[in-house]
Amino acid sequence: MTPARTRLAPSPTGFIHIGTLRTALFDYFLAKQTGGEFILRIEDTDQTRLVAGALESLLRTFKKLGIEPDEGPRIDNENLIVEKGDCGPYVQSARLDIYKKYVDQLLKQKDAYHCFCSKERLEGMREQQRTTKQTPKYDRHCLNLSGEEVKARIEAGEQYVVRMKVPEGETIVDDVVRGSVKFQNADIDDQVILKSDGFPTYHLAVVIDDALMKITHVIRGEEWLPSTPKHIMLFKMLGFDVPVFAHVPLLLNADKTKLSKRQGDVAVEDYLNKGYLPEALLNFIGTLGFNPTGDREIYDFEELIAMFDLSKVKKSGAVMNLEKLDWMNNQYLKNMELKEIIEVARPFVSLDLDNDMIARALIIERDRINKLDELQEKLEPYVAEFQYDSSLLVWKKSTAQDAKLQLKQIKNFIEDLEDASFVNSEAIEREVRAYIVKNELDNGSVLWPLRVALSGQEKSSSPFELLWVFGKEKGIERISKAIEFLG
């Protein structure tokens, strides 16, 4: 396969959206699968919408996720590094001279023209088009100004923009996801390509940059599809090869509405801050609208790279099912090495995770959480002082005396257990269950008081898990305390 060059072209206007990450992943998968490059280009031509720190935040998020662009700005020890590189600069505001050159070419070819229309005139024109129900587009008032007039008006200091001249005919977008989509050029506006502030518009800059940066595949959200015929016209007018286009479907909420724009719901960083693991997020987002084999949900990153297939991306909107994300995160948590989970849990827990007992509690409790911000609450009872009412120790219809008796007996039994029985909770469970059978006891009257004695809580992990976490000595200590409570 020929190496693909893909790009993510975000505008640094805020936090990084889940949808942007999905596009970035598709870009990344395709580039890596084919031995190509993934490029990050910053589209900051709309200077009024810039947000300070947005680029740094995007790069930090990418770093946390382990997706580093091959070309484009990067962050190193908190320092933003913007190198020129082979096809740079990769920030559009540093490329104004380049765009100017191509605007001149388009003007010379008569594929573009100066427009001096005032805001008021354009508003009046649009108002009239609305009332007469015409397609809203520029009426070409300035199309046929003579060269001399244009020159004179510019010299007189009049404000102007440059518009592309949409040719007659039709334009077909051959899209990998959506198939062939036909547009009538008559419906397309003579798009402004150079603004009065000297900045190109997105439409011009995106075409020039995709061409000069040798982008082979343009993957982006389907909201850009209506703009693509204009881009194709510009590629052709400028004599550039047209790249492959893939417009990926919108992300939807579970109720199929368009994904909310609220930051907490769509900012990638917020998901990381809640304790979704990078691996789980990458798996979840990298398979939104695309499932490599259709017979399972968990794919590691290398598999996603190897199996990605743009032509199999679904046309219909991809539903962001957060329950699935929770499930996936839980799967990843369950399967992590202890050392790794301690490290990822550290920022979320204010307990000493290097303590062996807490590490064992972590092994038990990580199965029962969906995300790491639920962990502190789960681990606290292991270190908390007893606060329960002694009646909690009493199983159903039995009495405090029964509970006390059972606890005393099981305590003796546990005291006599070999250390080897404490290797894991399963070994402890086997011993305790055998003890119950041998003494013809019923499960509830032994296991309930034992569990409450160990956890101090109405609901908790099993007594076997708790015994394993606490170890023999601490376990016995807790049981003795419970016996004391029962008076």
What whole-number distance in Å separates Cα of residue 434 and Cα of residue 430? 6
Between β-strands 5-8 and 37-40, what pairing exists: parallel, antiparallel or unpaired?
A: parallel
Q: Which residues contact 14 (CB under 8 A, 6 or more apart)?
A: 51, 54, 263
The residues of the shown chain that bind ligand GLU, judged by CB under 6 A, are 9-11, 43, 202, 206, 220, 224
What does the block give as tokens for 82?
């913007």
Of the candidates 430, 411, 407, which has an alpha carbon nearest to the alpha carbon of residue 472?
411
- Is 261 tagged catalytic? yes
What does the block give as tokens for 247?
């417009």
What whole-number distance in Å separates Cα of residue 194 and Cα of residue 163? 7
The residue with tokens 């200091």 is 157
Contact 272, 281 (CB under 8 A): yes
| Residue 160 vs 202, nearer CB to ligand GLU | 202
Q: In which order are the strands placed within the sheet that holds 112-115?
A: 112-115, 161-164, 192-194
Is residue 438 part of an annotated ligand binding site?
no
Contact 28, 34 (CB under 8 A): no
What does the block give as tokens for 436?
């119950």
| Residue 224 vs 327, nearer CB to ligand GLU | 224
- Type and span of the H or E element at 409: helix 400-416
| Residue 7 vs 411, nearer CB to ligand GLU | 7
Which stretches within 119-191 are classed as H helix? 119-131, 147-155
CB of 224 to ligand GLU, least distance (A): 5
| Residue 11 vs 370, nearer CB to ligand GLU | 11
CB of 13 to ligand GLU, least distance (A): 8
What whole-number distance in Å separates Cα of residue 192 and Cα of residue 131? 23
What whole-number distance in Å separates Cα of residue 243 and Cα of residue 428? 63
Question: Annotated catalytic residue: which of 119, 261, 397, 459?
Answer: 261
| Residue 28 vs 470, nearer CB to ligand GLU | 28
Catalytic site positions: 261
Binding site: residue ranges? 261
As annotated, the binding site for ATP includes: 261
